[in-house]
Amino acid sequence: MTQKEFLHIVTPFKDKLFRLAKRLLVSTEEAEDATQEVLLKLWNNKTKIQEYKNVEAFSMTMTKNYCFDKLKSKQAQNLKIVHSNYEDKQTTLQKQVELNDSINWVEKIISTLPEQQRLIIQLRDIEAYDFDEIAKMLEMNPTAVRVALSRARKTIREKLTNTHNYGIK
């Protein structure tokens, strides 16, 4: 496989790899390193890459596993999961402040979810993977993915509603 063929396969989803790594590792530099590491592993195994039915799903799984290994290592003990992909530049300053506040609350709420629910929220609501792809990546039953996503969304909705209705807790 030539470099051009490899890039043709990998280019459509390399940004998704980065976003997943950034979601898990928080640090842009760590996410860039993780993405580069995964792409390097794919390049080193480029002869086998065409054997995979879904190279993107395989790459996302590699990224997830690499990030988990990184988080488990001693050098990454201070990292936490947050999300900061949302930005709307067409709003007034007041709306922007309110939006940022809501996003911060959602980030805080997501960080309290169980790890599996956090990942499913990331893969489904942010990366827009379908349930079967998520199930394959996380080695779960698609029904279990739907249930976990539903529970995660319900928890986020309830906690956000409580925050807005009763003030800061």
* 99 and 58 fall within a common domain: no
Over residues 136-148, mean pLDDT: 92
* 71 and 6 fall within a common domain: yes
* 131 and 162 fall within a common domain: yes
pLDDT band at 163 (very low <50, low <70, confident <90, very high): confident
Average pLDDT, rounded, for the chain: 80
Residue-wise DSSP of 34-93: HHHHHHHHHHHTTTTGGG-S-HHHHHHHHHHHHHHHHHHSGGGTT----------TTS-H
Q: 127, 22 in Cβ contact below 8 A?
A: no
* pTM for this entry: 0.52
Please tell me the predicted confidence (pLDDT) of residue 4: 81
pLDDT at 52 over 90: no
Rounded Cα–Cα distance for residues 25 and 17 (Å):
12
Rounded Cα–Cα distance for residues 47 and 142 (Å):
30
Residue 127 is part of which domain span?
Answer: 91-169
What CATH code is carried by the domain that includes residue 69? Answer: 1.10.1740.10
Which one is predicted more confidently, 44 or 147? 147
- The model's pLDDT over 70-89, given as tens digits with 9 standing for 90+, comes to 877 744 454 444 444 445 45
* 3 and 68 fall within a common domain: yes
Please tell me the predicted confidence (pLDDT) of residue 89: 53
pLDDT at 22 over 80: yes
Q: Is residue 130 part of a domain?
A: yes
- The model's pLDDT over 103-138, given as tens digits with 9 standing for 90+, comes to 888 888 888 999 899 999 988 888 888 899 999 989
